[in-house]
């Protein structure tokens, strides 16, 4: 493990090191068992200013019929145990594909532990969920269906039974995949939903027109100052990257900002001990959304790697003004509060990411940075196909 990981640990925290080392070894083993997704990709033009080509697995090519089928599956509430929840329940197209809740509500109004991130531009992530526990959109789409606080199905067979009993679905699956009703499997459902989600992309914001379209009038003076701060003093560019020809505002990495970490820090040693003792029982999707302790471990619950303790995935900043509340736990209600968090150097804890430190922003600089973040809003967002 890296020496720098523990550069800020006080004497009380040194007791964690052995347990983290044990869990690190467990994490290495679990990652080997999980393997790496080696699916080959092809790329199709996004056709949108500011966005790169869209990656598509060669084993799941796009088609209009498949996207239309995926959209129907995405919106079907029958794929929940009480008939109240679909993918669109937490990722609402009319609300920039979020639900505006601190943490999402599933069946029977049950709540989990994490905020629902937007699906907008999720196609560009190399891993899915706040902790990156799935490699692609296909894999991600299957987990919420079985989670007891989301869709609450007893198995994927519950969904397949609904599909097979619906003549419109069986006809569409025949057309898209060339299979009869008896051959429909959950992987076909996942492929269709993922194909739809690959069309949920947005760019062409005022920032894009200024940066990539060379329209000098696209941004206000305040937003331009905010862009300069973003690239310099505010250090946003370090993680929410802007490229030379496009910007997806992510680094595909995980960082500990200290948000929510105080919930587990007093009993972290006990939590790590339990994890070490249950090394043959990897952290499940169900546990992450029903056990606050497991949830706050962040990426560490997936990898067991010390530098991932309390770390969560860098989210995109596109349309950030539309997707409140913020952070993995939805604890920050406004962009002003997010800026204040970064300005004070995150929430202090022994595992704070090394790049997080106080910024010393003035009131005017915070206002300018806010103006820039608002300039990342697209004039038109994708909607459900008709």
Rounded Cα distance between 4 and 8, Å, is 8
Q: CA angle, corner 43, sides to 253 and 314, nearest 5? A: 15
Local structure of 242: helix, strand or coil: strand
> Is 25 part of any known ligand binding site?
no
Rounded Cα distance between 145 and 356, Å, is 36
Rounded Cα distance between 370 and 224, Å, is 11
Per the structure block, which two tokens stand in for 243?
């490229």
Per the structure block, which two tokens stand in for 236?
């946003």
Do the beta carbons of residue 204 and residue 50 sit within 8 Å? yes
Do the beta carbons of residue 300 and residue 309 sit within 8 Å? yes
Of 375, 328, 319, give the one whose Cα is nearest residue 96. 319
Which residues in 188-203 are b (16+ Cβ under 10 Å) and which e? Answer: bbbbbbbbbbbebbbb
> Is 236 part of any known ligand binding site?
yes
SS3 content of the chain, % helix, strand, coil (to 5): 45, 5, 50
> Is 90 part of any known ligand binding site?
yes
Please report which helix (H) or strand (E) contains residue 175, including its range. helix 167-177
Per the structure block, which two tokens stand in for 15?
């007791």
Of 146, 153, 169, give the one whose Cα is nearest residue 73. 169
Can you say whether residue 371 is alpha, beta or left, with left for phi > 0 and alpha for psi between -120 and 50 degrees?
alpha
Name the residue with tokens 């145990």: 81
Q: What distance lies between CA 384 and its chain's CA centroid? A: 21
> Is 28 part of any known ligand binding site?
no
> Is 87 part of any known ligand binding site?
yes
Binding residues for heme c: 87, 90-91, 236, 239-240
Binding residues: 87, 90-91, 236, 239-240
């Amino acid at each position: 493990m890296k020496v720098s990981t523990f550069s800020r640990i006080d004497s009380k925290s040194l007791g964690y090191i052995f347990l983290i080392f044990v869990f690190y070894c467990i994490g290495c083993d679990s990652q080997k068992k999980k393997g790496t997704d080696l699916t080959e990709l092809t790329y199709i033009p996004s056709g949108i200013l500011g966005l790169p080509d869209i990656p598509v697995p060669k084993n799941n090519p796009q088609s209009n019929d498949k996207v239309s089928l995926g959209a129907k599956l995405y919106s079907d509430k029958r794929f929940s145990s009480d008939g109240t929840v679909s993918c669109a329940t937490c990722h609402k197209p009319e609300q920039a594909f979020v639900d505006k809740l601190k943490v999402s509500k599933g069946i029977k109004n049950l709540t989990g532990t994490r905020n629902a991130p937007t699906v907008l531009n999720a196609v560009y992530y190399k891993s899915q969920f706040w902790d990156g526990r799935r490699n692609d959109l296909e894999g991600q789409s299957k987990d919420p269906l079985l989670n007891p606080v989301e869709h609450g199905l007893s198995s994927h067979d519950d969904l397949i039974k609904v599909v097979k009993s619906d003549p419109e679905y069986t006809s569409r699956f025949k057309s898209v995949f060339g299979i009869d009703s008896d051959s429909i499997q959950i992987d076909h459902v996942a492929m269709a939903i993922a194909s739809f989600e690959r069309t949920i992309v947005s760019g062409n914001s005022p920032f894009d027109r200024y940066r990539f379209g060379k329209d000098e009038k696209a941004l206000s003076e305040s937003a331009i100052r905010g862009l300069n701060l973003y690239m310099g003093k505010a250090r946003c560019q370090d993680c929410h990257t802007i490229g030379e020809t496009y910007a997806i505002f992510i680094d595909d990495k995980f960082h500990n900002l200290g948000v929510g970490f105080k919930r587990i820090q007093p009993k972290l040693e006990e939590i790590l001990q339990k994890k070490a003792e249950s090394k043959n029982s990897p952290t499940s999707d169900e546990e992450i959304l029903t056990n606050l302790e497991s949830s706050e471990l962040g990426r560490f619950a997936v990898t067991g790697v010390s530098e991932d303790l309390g770390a969560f995935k860098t989210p995109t900043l596109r349309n950030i003004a539309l997707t409140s509340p913020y952070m993995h736990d939805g604890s920050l209600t406004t962009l002003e509060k997010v800026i204040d968090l970064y300005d004070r150097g995150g929430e202090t804890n022994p595992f704070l990411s090394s790049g997080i430190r106080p910024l010393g922003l003035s009131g005017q600089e915070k206002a300018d940075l806010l103006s820039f973040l608002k300039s990342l809003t697209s004039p038109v967002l994708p909607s459900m196909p008709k």
